[in-house]
């Protein structure tokens, strides 16, 4: 048995910058698009206690690793728990087990940033973010690596959270953060 590395969330916290998450996710998507084996998200639900276990995995031969992302939510916990097991793609040996809590917003945000880079106009300078928590911060941080943002619009139903997000998201950066009103508006149902 090999000695796999275990990294806590605090140890993982500053190992990569948002642009590095975007580059890694973009490259992984490219490899999967070119035929690298991958499984879509799998969710297993439990009735008592109520909860779910979610996982998705891939083998990335060019990167030299295989692994995935697994998390549980519910089961009486107040939060979700995230882990990333990594294995050597040649030998199959375990390399590391990462507590994924601190990287989750950036991993998820990187997927959104890759989509923005592929689908949004090259001259887009404004982005809207729904929510004001960790996921929203990760989305904004990673999206800011693929577009020169001038304006960020944030929607959050809680005024204090919206204000805190706007204040922290513009500290030391250029974009103006505009707070959207808490009340969402609904568009009329489309007619087909």
Q: How far is CA 186 from CA 2, 154, 156, 189, in A?
A: 56, 17, 16, 9
Q: What pLDDT score was predicted for residue 26? A: 97
Cis peptide before 49 (omega within 30 of 0): yes
User: What is the C-alpha to C-alpha distance for residues 9 and 82, in angstroms, rounded to an integer?
Assistant: 9
5-104, CATH topology level = ornithine cyclodeaminase, domain 1 (3.30.1780)
The domain locations on the chain are 5-104, 120-179
Per the CB < 8 A criterion, the answer to whether 93 and 2 are in contact is yes
Q: What pLDDT score was predicted for residue 186? A: 35
User: What is the C-alpha to C-alpha distance for residues 27 and 73, in angstroms, rounded to an integer?
Assistant: 28
Give the global pTM.
Answer: 0.85
Q: What is the pLDDT along the chain (192 residues), one digit of tens a residue?
A: 678 899 999 999 989 999 999 999 999 999 999 999 999 899 999 998 899 999 999 999 999 999 999 999 988 877 789 999 999 999 999 999 999 999 999 999 999 999 999 999 999 999 999 999 999 999 999 999 999 998 888 888 888 888 888 888 764 555 566 655 544 333 343 333
Superfamily grouping for domain 120-179: NAD(P)-binding Rossmann-like Domain (3.40.50.720)
């Amino acid at each position: 048995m090999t000695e796999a590395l275990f990294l806590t969330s605090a140890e993982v916290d500053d190992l990569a910058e948002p642009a590095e998450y975007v580059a890694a996710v973009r490259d992984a998507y490219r490899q999967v698009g070119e035929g690298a084996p991958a499984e879509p998200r799998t969710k297993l639900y439990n009735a008592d206690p109520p909860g779910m276990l979610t996982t998705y995995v891939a083998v990335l031969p060019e990167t030299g690793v295989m692994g995935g992302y697994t998390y549980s939510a519910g089961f009486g916990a107040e939060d979700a728990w995230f882990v990333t097991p990594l294995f050597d793609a040649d030998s199959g040996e375990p390399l590391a087990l990462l507590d994924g809590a601190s990287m989750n917003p950036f991993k998820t945000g990187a997927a959104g940033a890759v989509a923005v880079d592929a689908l949004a106009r090259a001259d887009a300078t404004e982005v809207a973010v729904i929510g004001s928590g960790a996921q929203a911060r990760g989305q904004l941080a990673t999206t800011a690596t693929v577009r020169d943002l001038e304006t960020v619009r944030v929607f959050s139903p809680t005024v204090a959270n919206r204000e805190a997000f706007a204040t922290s998201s513009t500290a030391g950066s250029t974009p103006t953060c505009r707070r959207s009103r808490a009340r969402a508006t609904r568009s009329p149902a489309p007619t087909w």
